[in-house]
Structure 1
Amino acid sequence: MQLTGRVAMLTNNSAESGTIASAVAALRDAMLAGDGAALDAMTMDELTYGHSNSRLEDKAAFVSGLDGKNAFKAIDLSDHSFQLVGDVAIARHTFDCVNNLPDGKTSTAHIRVLQVWKSVDGAWKLLARQASPLPV
Protein backbone atom coordinates (compact mmCIF):
# COMPACT_ATOMS: atom_id res chain seq x y z
CA MET A 1 0.00 0.00 0.00
CA GLN A 2 1.32 3.41 -0.89
CA LEU A 3 0.42 6.72 0.74
CA THR A 4 0.06 9.62 -1.61
CA GLY A 5 0.13 13.28 -0.80
CA ARG A 6 2.11 15.24 1.73
CA VAL A 7 2.74 13.56 5.07
CA ALA A 8 3.90 15.80 7.90
CA MET A 9 4.25 15.38 11.62
CA LEU A 10 3.11 18.72 12.96
CA THR A 11 4.73 20.57 15.78
CA ASN A 12 2.36 21.85 18.44
CA ASN A 13 3.15 25.43 17.46
CA SER A 14 2.61 25.15 13.69
CA ALA A 15 -0.32 26.95 12.06
CA GLU A 16 -1.85 23.68 10.82
CA SER A 17 -1.50 22.13 14.26
CA GLY A 18 -3.28 25.12 15.78
CA THR A 19 -6.18 24.81 13.34
CA ILE A 20 -6.57 21.08 13.99
CA ALA A 21 -6.16 21.59 17.75
CA SER A 22 -8.94 24.18 17.58
CA ALA A 23 -11.23 21.64 15.88
CA VAL A 24 -10.41 19.03 18.55
CA ALA A 25 -11.13 21.59 21.30
CA ALA A 26 -14.38 22.67 19.64
CA LEU A 27 -15.53 19.05 19.52
CA ARG A 28 -14.71 18.66 23.23
CA ASP A 29 -16.64 21.86 24.02
CA ALA A 30 -19.67 20.72 22.00
CA MET A 31 -19.61 17.32 23.75
CA LEU A 32 -19.50 19.04 27.16
CA ALA A 33 -22.35 21.36 26.22
CA GLY A 34 -24.48 18.65 24.61
CA ASP A 35 -24.67 20.91 21.56
CA GLY A 36 -26.18 18.68 18.89
CA ALA A 37 -26.17 21.38 16.19
CA ALA A 38 -22.43 21.97 16.66
CA LEU A 39 -21.71 18.22 16.78
CA ASP A 40 -23.68 17.75 13.56
CA ALA A 41 -21.85 20.61 11.83
CA MET A 42 -18.35 19.42 12.75
CA THR A 43 -18.78 15.75 11.81
CA MET A 44 -19.01 14.10 8.42
CA ASP A 45 -22.09 12.10 7.43
CA GLU A 46 -19.82 9.02 7.15
CA LEU A 47 -18.65 9.34 10.76
CA THR A 48 -17.66 6.17 12.58
CA TYR A 49 -17.24 6.79 16.31
CA GLY A 50 -15.55 3.99 18.25
CA HIS A 51 -15.70 3.80 22.04
CA SER A 52 -13.07 2.21 24.29
CA ASN A 53 -15.40 -0.74 24.93
CA SER A 54 -15.47 -1.43 21.14
CA ARG A 55 -19.01 -0.06 20.69
CA LEU A 56 -19.39 1.75 17.35
CA GLU A 57 -21.76 4.59 16.54
CA ASP A 58 -22.61 6.28 13.29
CA LYS A 59 -23.13 10.05 13.09
CA ALA A 60 -26.82 9.92 13.98
CA ALA A 61 -26.21 7.83 17.12
CA PHE A 62 -23.22 9.96 18.19
CA VAL A 63 -25.08 13.26 17.83
CA SER A 64 -28.38 12.06 19.33
CA GLY A 65 -26.52 10.44 22.24
CA LEU A 66 -25.20 13.84 23.33
CA ASP A 67 -27.72 16.34 21.91
CA GLY A 68 -29.31 18.31 24.75
CA LYS A 69 -27.77 16.06 27.38
CA ASN A 70 -25.29 16.88 30.12
CA ALA A 71 -23.39 13.62 29.61
CA PHE A 72 -20.07 14.99 30.82
CA LYS A 73 -19.15 16.87 33.96
CA ALA A 74 -15.59 17.41 32.69
CA ILE A 75 -13.35 16.48 29.76
CA ASP A 76 -9.59 17.01 29.85
CA LEU A 77 -7.44 16.37 26.77
CA SER A 78 -3.65 16.02 27.02
CA ASP A 79 -0.62 14.50 25.28
CA HIS A 80 -1.64 15.81 21.86
CA SER A 81 0.02 14.84 18.60
CA PHE A 82 -1.03 15.71 15.06
CA GLN A 83 -0.12 14.37 11.63
CA LEU A 84 -1.19 15.82 8.31
CA VAL A 85 -1.63 13.66 5.18
CA GLY A 86 -2.89 15.85 2.36
CA ASP A 87 -6.37 17.03 3.39
CA VAL A 88 -6.60 14.52 6.25
CA ALA A 89 -5.38 15.14 9.80
CA ILE A 90 -4.73 12.49 12.42
CA ALA A 91 -5.06 13.72 15.99
CA ARG A 92 -4.15 11.66 19.05
CA HIS A 93 -4.62 12.55 22.69
CA THR A 94 -5.35 11.23 26.16
CA PHE A 95 -9.00 11.76 27.10
CA ASP A 96 -9.84 11.99 30.80
CA CYS A 97 -13.45 12.64 31.70
CA VAL A 98 -16.04 12.60 34.42
CA ASN A 99 -19.34 11.24 33.07
CA ASN A 100 -22.73 12.17 34.48
CA LEU A 101 -24.79 8.99 34.92
CA PRO A 102 -28.60 8.87 34.74
CA ASP A 103 -28.86 7.97 38.45
CA GLY A 104 -27.09 11.19 39.46
CA LYS A 105 -23.76 9.50 40.12
CA THR A 106 -20.59 9.95 38.10
CA SER A 107 -17.99 7.68 36.54
CA THR A 108 -14.59 8.40 35.05
CA ALA A 109 -12.70 7.34 31.95
CA HIS A 110 -8.99 7.43 31.15
CA ILE A 111 -8.57 6.53 27.48
CA ARG A 112 -6.34 7.13 24.47
CA VAL A 113 -8.12 8.56 21.42
CA LEU A 114 -7.33 8.60 17.72
CA GLN A 115 -9.33 11.03 15.59
CA VAL A 116 -9.31 11.34 11.80
CA TRP A 117 -10.30 14.76 10.48
CA LYS A 118 -10.86 15.77 6.84
CA SER A 119 -10.69 19.26 5.45
CA VAL A 120 -14.03 20.02 3.78
CA ASP A 121 -14.54 23.46 2.24
CA GLY A 122 -11.85 24.93 4.48
CA ALA A 123 -13.17 23.45 7.74
CA TRP A 124 -11.98 20.36 9.62
CA LYS A 125 -14.70 17.73 10.03
CA LEU A 126 -14.43 14.56 12.10
CA LEU A 127 -14.54 11.42 9.95
CA ALA A 128 -13.50 8.75 12.47
CA ARG A 129 -12.68 8.31 16.13
CA GLN A 130 -11.42 5.27 18.02
CA ALA A 131 -10.65 5.03 21.72
CA SER A 132 -8.72 2.44 23.67
CA PRO A 133 -8.46 2.01 27.44
CA LEU A 134 -5.38 3.08 29.36
CA PRO A 135 -4.26 1.89 32.77
CA VAL A 136 -5.78 4.02 35.53
Structure 2
Amino acid sequence: MKKTLLVAVFLLGHIISFAQGNDEKAVAEAVERIRVAIIGAKEADLMKLTSPKLTYGHSNGLLEDQKEFIRALVSEESKFTKIELSEQTITVSGDVALVRHKLMGDTHNKGKEPAAVRLGVLMVLQKISGQWVLIGRQAFKLV
Protein backbone atom coordinates (compact mmCIF):
# COMPACT_ATOMS: atom_id res chain seq x y z
CA MET A 1 0.00 0.00 0.00
CA LYS A 2 2.76 2.45 0.98
CA LYS A 3 4.70 1.55 -2.15
CA THR A 4 1.67 2.16 -4.41
CA LEU A 5 0.99 5.51 -2.75
CA LEU A 6 4.62 6.53 -3.10
CA VAL A 7 4.63 5.63 -6.81
CA ALA A 8 1.36 7.54 -7.33
CA VAL A 9 2.76 10.66 -5.63
CA PHE A 10 5.97 10.38 -7.68
CA LEU A 11 4.03 10.06 -10.96
CA LEU A 12 1.71 12.94 -10.05
CA GLY A 13 4.74 15.13 -9.34
CA HIS A 14 6.21 14.29 -12.75
CA ILE A 15 2.91 14.99 -14.49
CA ILE A 16 2.59 18.39 -12.81
CA SER A 17 6.21 19.21 -13.61
CA PHE A 18 5.71 18.17 -17.25
CA ALA A 19 2.53 20.27 -17.54
CA GLN A 20 4.33 23.28 -16.01
CA GLY A 21 7.17 22.85 -18.51
CA ASN A 22 4.72 22.66 -21.40
CA ASP A 23 2.93 25.80 -20.20
CA GLU A 24 6.22 27.69 -19.90
CA LYS A 25 7.12 26.67 -23.45
CA ALA A 26 3.67 27.72 -24.73
CA VAL A 27 3.99 31.08 -22.93
CA ALA A 28 7.45 31.66 -24.45
CA GLU A 29 5.99 30.92 -27.89
CA ALA A 30 3.12 33.35 -27.24
CA VAL A 31 5.59 36.07 -26.20
CA GLU A 32 7.50 35.50 -29.44
CA ARG A 33 4.29 35.76 -31.49
CA ILE A 34 3.47 39.02 -29.68
CA ARG A 35 6.97 40.37 -30.39
CA VAL A 36 6.62 39.57 -34.11
CA ALA A 37 3.06 40.97 -34.21
CA ILE A 38 4.14 44.28 -32.64
CA ILE A 39 6.79 44.72 -35.34
CA GLY A 40 4.39 43.58 -38.10
CA ALA A 41 1.57 45.81 -36.79
CA LYS A 42 -1.25 43.77 -38.36
CA GLU A 43 -4.53 44.36 -36.58
CA ALA A 44 -5.84 40.78 -36.94
CA ASP A 45 -2.66 39.29 -35.43
CA LEU A 46 -2.65 41.75 -32.54
CA MET A 47 -6.33 41.08 -31.80
CA LYS A 48 -5.71 37.31 -31.56
CA LEU A 49 -2.79 37.73 -29.18
CA THR A 50 -4.31 40.26 -26.76
CA SER A 51 -7.29 40.29 -24.45
CA PRO A 52 -10.15 42.78 -24.81
CA LYS A 53 -9.31 43.58 -21.15
CA LEU A 54 -5.69 44.48 -22.00
CA THR A 55 -3.96 47.17 -19.98
CA TYR A 56 -0.70 48.14 -21.69
CA GLY A 57 1.66 50.41 -19.78
CA HIS A 58 4.47 52.26 -21.53
CA SER A 59 7.69 53.37 -19.85
CA ASN A 60 6.59 57.03 -20.12
CA GLY A 61 3.46 56.37 -18.04
CA LEU A 62 1.01 56.16 -20.98
CA LEU A 63 -1.66 53.50 -20.45
CA GLU A 64 -3.58 51.97 -23.35
CA ASP A 65 -6.41 49.49 -23.64
CA GLN A 66 -6.50 46.88 -26.40
CA LYS A 67 -8.15 49.23 -28.89
CA GLU A 68 -5.65 52.07 -28.32
CA PHE A 69 -2.65 49.73 -28.26
CA ILE A 70 -3.58 48.23 -31.64
CA ARG A 71 -4.56 51.60 -33.17
CA ALA A 72 -1.21 53.15 -32.23
CA LEU A 73 0.73 50.29 -33.82
CA VAL A 74 -1.36 49.99 -36.99
CA SER A 75 -1.26 53.77 -37.57
CA GLU A 76 2.53 53.75 -36.92
CA GLU A 77 2.06 56.35 -34.21
CA SER A 78 4.02 53.77 -32.21
CA LYS A 79 6.31 51.73 -34.50
CA PHE A 80 8.98 49.23 -33.55
CA THR A 81 11.42 48.34 -36.30
CA LYS A 82 13.41 45.94 -34.12
CA ILE A 83 12.75 44.17 -30.81
CA GLU A 84 15.22 41.86 -29.09
CA LEU A 85 14.36 40.20 -25.80
CA SER A 86 16.84 38.86 -23.25
CA GLU A 87 17.01 37.55 -19.68
CA GLN A 88 13.45 36.26 -19.92
CA THR A 89 11.87 34.48 -16.97
CA ILE A 90 8.45 32.84 -16.97
CA THR A 91 6.37 31.91 -13.93
CA VAL A 92 3.12 30.03 -14.49
CA SER A 93 0.41 29.84 -11.83
CA GLY A 94 -2.71 28.09 -13.08
CA ASP A 95 -4.05 30.04 -16.05
CA VAL A 96 -1.85 33.10 -15.44
CA ALA A 97 1.78 33.60 -16.48
CA LEU A 98 4.18 36.35 -15.43
CA VAL A 99 6.94 37.11 -17.92
CA ARG A 100 9.87 39.40 -17.21
CA HIS A 101 12.53 40.34 -19.74
CA LYS A 102 14.75 43.09 -21.03
CA LEU A 103 13.74 44.64 -24.34
CA MET A 104 16.24 46.33 -26.62
CA GLY A 105 14.83 47.78 -29.81
CA ASP A 106 14.52 50.51 -32.35
CA THR A 107 11.50 52.71 -32.92
CA HIS A 108 10.52 55.04 -35.71
CA ASN A 109 7.28 56.61 -34.54
CA LYS A 110 5.30 58.90 -36.83
CA GLY A 111 6.74 62.39 -36.83
CA LYS A 112 9.78 61.47 -34.74
CA GLU A 113 13.39 60.56 -35.42
CA PRO A 114 14.39 56.90 -35.11
CA ALA A 115 15.34 56.04 -31.54
CA ALA A 116 16.78 53.15 -29.56
CA VAL A 117 14.85 51.84 -26.57
CA ARG A 118 16.14 49.89 -23.59
CA LEU A 119 13.38 48.66 -21.30
CA GLY A 120 12.54 46.27 -18.53
CA VAL A 121 9.14 44.66 -19.08
CA LEU A 122 6.61 42.72 -17.03
CA MET A 123 3.95 40.96 -19.10
CA VAL A 124 0.92 39.11 -17.76
CA LEU A 125 -0.63 36.45 -19.96
CA GLN A 126 -3.75 34.43 -19.31
CA LYS A 127 -4.71 31.09 -20.82
CA ILE A 128 -8.12 31.57 -22.41
CA SER A 129 -9.71 28.76 -24.42
CA GLY A 130 -6.34 27.01 -24.58
CA GLN A 131 -4.43 30.07 -25.87
CA TRP A 132 -2.08 32.36 -23.95
CA VAL A 133 -3.06 36.01 -24.53
CA LEU A 134 -1.61 39.25 -23.22
CA ILE A 135 -3.78 40.88 -20.54
CA GLY A 136 -1.24 43.21 -18.94
CA ARG A 137 2.10 44.80 -19.68
CA GLN A 138 4.22 47.40 -17.92
CA ALA A 139 7.57 48.71 -19.13
CA PHE A 140 10.18 50.79 -17.36
CA LYS A 141 13.32 52.47 -18.64
CA LEU A 142 16.56 50.70 -17.83
CA VAL A 143 19.39 52.87 -16.59
TM bin, normalised by shorter chain, reads 0.7 to 0.9
Is the strand fraction higher in 1 or 2?
1
Q: How does 1:5-20 map to 2 (within 5 A)?
A: 14-20=21-27
Aligned to 1:105: 113
Aligned residue-pair number: 123
Q: TM-score, normalised by structure 2?
A: 0.81
Q: Aligned-residue CA RMSD in angstroms?
A: 1.6
Distance 1:61 1:104, change over 3 A: closer
Give a deviation string over 1:27-61, Cα, whole Å, max 9, x none: 01000011111111111111000001111001100
Separation in 1 of the partners of 2:62 and 2:107? 17
- The 3-state SS of whatever aligns with 1:79 is strand
Q: TM-score, normalised by structure 1?
A: 0.85
Higher relative contact order (CA 8 A, sep 6+): 1
Distance 1:24 1:106, change over 3 A: same
Percent identity reads: 33
1:131 aligns with 2:139: yes
The 8 Å contact of residues 36 and 68 in structure 1, kept in 2 or not, is answered as: no
Structure 2 runs not aligned, ≥5 long: 1-16
Structure 1 runs not aligned, ≥5 long: 1-9
Could you list the runs of 4 or more consecutive aligned residues of structure 1 that deviate by over 2 angstroms after TM superposition?
101-105
Is the helix fraction higher in 1 or 2?
2
